[in-house]
Structure 1
C-alpha cells in the first residue's frame, strides 16, 4: 500500500512537507500547519533536551486524557462507514489497539499504562486542561458525524499521520532522562506502525473524494482544525511549565544528569518512594517486553517490572533439553537456580549446576545455559544492565553466531 501511495503523490510537491513527513500528504496537509506543529516550543524543548522532566510528565498526563478515548473515536468512525471493506480495513487498527493480533495479547493502552507507571504518573488525579478537553470533544464530534469523510480526516490527518512528528520528541526525551524500553515501547511502536494506519484511512478518503475532488478541501480543513486543537493543548502545557515555580533541586532517582548538573550534588541522602513497589505474579503476567525478549532469545523469559535504576531481575525458563543461545554482554550476571539441573558454558569453562546453586557470569564472557534435567529449569538472573543504561546507554548485549559444543 505504501508503494501505491507514493506513486500517486503529486510530482511537483517538495520531497518532504516537513522533516519526517512524506510528500504523499501534500494534497491534504499544509506545510505551514505542520511547521507550526513541529516548531512548537514544547516539542522543540523536548528535542533539544531543554524541557524539564515535570514538563514531559505534564504532556504525558494530558496525552493520556486524550488517548484513553482512542478506541471510542475509532468505533464511532467505523459506525459511519457504508462500505463493509472499509470497516474491515479499519478493524485492523482496532485489533492492534485491543491487542488481539496474532502473537500479541497486550493492548496499546496497557503498554501506555506501563509508561505511566514507570514515571509514577496517575493521570486520574490531574485535571484535564480545557484545551485538552476541547481536542477530545472536537475529535469525537467529527468521528460521530454522518459524513464519514470528516471523521476519517480527523483521525487520519489530525492524529495518525502526524504521530511521528509528535512521538519522536517524546521518545527522545524519555531516552534522554534515562528511561528504558518499558517506558519507551509505546512511542517507538506507534512511530513504526501508525503510518500504515494513516495510509489505510487515506485510501478510503481518496475513494470518497474521487468523484468529488472539492470535498478534499473539507477533509483538509478538518485536519487543520485538529492540528490547531493539538497546538492549543501544547500551548497550555508549555505556558504552565513556564509559569510554575521551579522546585528546589533534588537528587531524584529518575532524573538524567549531565556535567552541567554537578551543582545538584546533594549533601544528604533523600528517600524517593515510587508509587509501585511490587510486581504481582511475575510469571503469570503478560507484558510486551517479555514477549519480545523471549522471542529474540528463543526461550521463555519473564522481566521483573520494578522501578530499580541499577539492577534488573529476570526469571528464565528452559524446557527439557532446551538451551539458551550463545551470547555475551558487558554487564555482570548472578544466576540462582530455582528448579532443575544442567550446565553453563562460560568462556572455555563447563559449569554444572543444580537447584539451589548460584552461578556468576563475568563481563563480556561468552556463555549459554543448557537444561539436562527431566523437566523444566527455572532460574533467577540478577544483572546491573540498568546501571549501564542510565550511565549513558552503554549496556551492550550480543548474540553470537557460533555455538559451542
Structure 2
C-alpha cells in the first residue's frame, strides 16, 4: 500500500471516518456526503435486522440494474488512460471481475447472479427506478469522458471506496435471514478486496492532481456527486417500499421456480416429486423484529401485525396483536383463514355470527365472509393467522382483500 502524503497524514489525525472505512479517505470523501450514505434509513434498517426480506430483494433488484454495467464502466475508463502502468494496474481489477485471479471460472457477475437466484430475485422482471437509471448514466458518462480524472474519481470515490459502507449492511441482512456462503460470497469478497482496488485508483488520482488543487477539487466533487446519486437511489427504494400498500415486496417475488406454466406444459408434469430445498428455513424472532414492512402493513390494517417471512408458495402466516379494547376493521378476502389464539380473549364477528374465543382456541374464517376480531380481555391479545393467499397469488394474482370499515357491535 502506498504511504499517505504527509499533508494527508496530518489531517487523518484530526478527523474520523465512518465505521468500517479507512481514515485515508478523509481528504477525498466529504463527511456530509458520507453521513447521508451511512445514516440512510435503508442501510440502517438492513444493518439492524429491521428490514424485511422484501426490502432486501427490492434493493438487490435495483443494485443489479446498476452493477451489471460494472465491467462496461471499467473498460470505458481503461480506454481513456494513457499511461501503460495505470492501464496494467486497473487490468488487475478487471481480471478479478472476470474470475481469473484465484476464483476459478466464476466471474463476480456470476457470483452476484447466484446470490439473486438463491434469494429468489429476477431483476429482468422489474424495471430500473429512475434514480437507478440516473446513477448508471452518470457513472457511464464520467467513465467515457476524455478526461481520465473524471472516470477515476467516479469509480474510485463514488463506488470502490464506499463498498464496505454499502455492502456490510446487505451482508448482515443476508446472514440474518439465514443465507449461507453461496448467497453471501459476492458481498464478503468485495468487502475484503474493493478497498485495494480503490487504493490503486487513488494512487493514480494523487499523481494526476499533484500540485493541482483545482483538479483535486474536481475529483472530490465528482465523487460527491456519485455518492449523492446512490443516496437518491436508496431514497427511491425506501420510498417505494414505504408507500406500498400491497403485501411487502410482492412486486419483487418471482413465480414458483421462476416459471409460469400453461396448458401447453401439461405433458411435462413429472411422475415423481423432487425436493427443492431453499437455503433459508427460519425467520428468527418474528415478534421482536420491528421492520419497515411490518410497520407499513400494520398501518394499513390499523393494528399491529408481524409477517412471517419464509419462502412458502401456498400458505402465509402472520401474527396479529390487539391492545385492550382494540379491534380490527371489518374486512373480507377470497382466501381462507385459520386463526389460533396465542394469548388473550375476545370474539370474532364472522358473517352474521359472533364467535367468542380465548387463548388455545382456533377459529375458521370462510372465503369472502365479512369478519372482525375484537379484544374484550384485560391484556393484549395475540393470534396466529394462516392463510392460502400465496397460492392464489401464484395462480395468477387473484388474491383479493376488501376493507368494509368499522362495525357497530
Task: Give distance in 1, aligned partners of 2:188 and 2:127.
Answer: 27
Q: Which residue of structure 2 aligns with residue 125 of structure 1?
A: 125
Q: 1:92-146, CA deviations, whole angstroms, 9 ceiling, x for partnerless residues? A: 0000000112452210001001100001111001011000000000000000001
8 A contact 1:6–1:24 mirrored in 2: no
In 2, Cα distance between the equivalents of 1:33 and 1:265? 34
Q: Tell me if structure 2 keeps the 8 A contact 1:93–1:197.
A: yes
Q: 1:190 matched to which residue of 2?
A: 190
Please list the CA deviations of residues 43-81 of structure 1 after superposition, one character each: whole Å capped at 9, or x if unmatched: 011111111111100000000000000000000001100
Any conservation in 2 of the 1:76–1:144 contact (CA below 8 Å)? yes
8 A Cα contact 1:160 1:194, kept in partner:
yes
Aligned equivalent of 1:29: 29
Aligned pair 1:173/2:173, yes or no?
yes
How far the C-alpha of 1:264 sits from its partner, in A, is 6.5
Equivalent residue number for residue 152 of structure 1: 152
2:56: which partner in 1? Answer: 56
Shift of 1:15: 5.1
Matched, 1:257 2:284: yes
Q: Aligned equivalents of 1:226 and 1:164: distance in 2? A: 16
| Contact 1:98-1:107 within 8 A present in 2 as well | yes
In structure 2, C-alpha distance between the alignment counterparts of 1:271 and 1:128, rounded to whole Å = 26
Q: How far did residue 39 of structure 1 move? A: 0.1
Partners of 1:107 and 1:121 in 2: how far apart?
19
Q: Which residue of structure 1 aligns with residue 9 of structure 2?
A: 10
CA RMSD of aligned residues (A): 2.6
Q: SS of the residue aligned with 1:178? A: coil
| 8 Å Cα contact 1:10-1:27 kept in structure 2 | no
Q: Taking structure 1 as reference, are residues 64 and 265 closer, same or farther at Cα in structure 2, changes over 3 Å only?
A: closer
Instruction: Give, in whole Å, the separation in 2 of the partners of 1:176 and 1:128.
Output: 26
Q: 1:42 offset after TM fit, Å? A: 0.4
Give the Cα–Cα distance (whole angstroms) in 1 for the partners of residues 248 and 132 of structure 2: 29
Say if 1:259 and 1:101 are closer, same or farther in 2 by CA, change over 3 A: closer
Give the total of aligned pairs: 269
Q: List alignment gaps of at least 5 residues for structure 1.
A: 274-405
State the Cα deviation string for residues 174-193 of structure 1 (Å, max 9, x = none). Answer: 00111111111000000000
After the TM superposition, which residues 273-292 of structure 1 pair with which residues of structure 2 at under 5 Å, given as runs?
Answer: none
TM-score norm. by structure 1 comes to 0.62
Structure 1 residues 119 and 17: CA distance shift in structure 2, 3 A:
same
Contact 1:15–1:22 (CA under 8 A) maintained in structure 2: no
Change in 2 beyond 3 A, CA 1:242/1:24: same
2:107 is equivalent to residue 80 of structure 1:
no
Aligned partner of 1:164 in structure 2 is: 164
Equivalent position of 2:91 in the other structure: 91
Q: Secondary structure at the match of 1:127?
A: coil
Asked whether the equivalents of residues 68 and 109 of structure 1 are also in contact (C-alpha less than 8 Å), the reply is yes
**Aligned residue for 2:224?**
224
Give, in whole Å, the separation in 2 of the partners of 1:156 and 1:18: 17
Matches of residues 134-145 of structure 1 in structure 2 within 5 Å?
134-145=134-145
- Kindly indicate whether the alpha-carbon contact (under 8 Å) linking 1:5 and 1:199 is maintained by their aligned counterparts in 2: no
- 1:211 is displaced (CA, Å) by 3.5
- Deviation digits for residues 193-228 of structure 1 (CA, Å, limit 9, x no counterpart): 000000000000001111423211000000000001
- 1:177/1:255 contact within 8 Å kept: yes
- State the alpha-carbon separation in 2 of the partners of residues 6 and 175 from structure 1: 38
**Superimposed CA distance per residue, residues 285-316 of structure 1 (whole angstroms, 9 cap, x where no aligned partner):** xxxxxxxxxxxxxxxxxxxxxxxxxxxxxxxx
Separation in 1, partners of 2:106, 2:127: 27
Distance 1:264 1:33 in 2: 34
- Distance in 2, Cα, partners of 1:74 & 1:270: 40
User: Would the alpha carbon gap of residues 153 and 272 (structure 1) be closer, same or farther in structure 2, given more than 3 Å must change?
Assistant: farther
**Residue 290 of structure 1 aligns with which residue?**
none
* Structure 2: unaligned runs, 5 residues or longer: 251-277, 290-304, 316-409
- Separation (CA, whole Å) in 1 of partners of 2:215 and 2:312: 60
How does 1:245-324 map onto structure 2 within 5 Å?
245-247=245-247, 256-258=283-285, 260=287, 271=313
3-state SS of paired residue (1:49) = coil
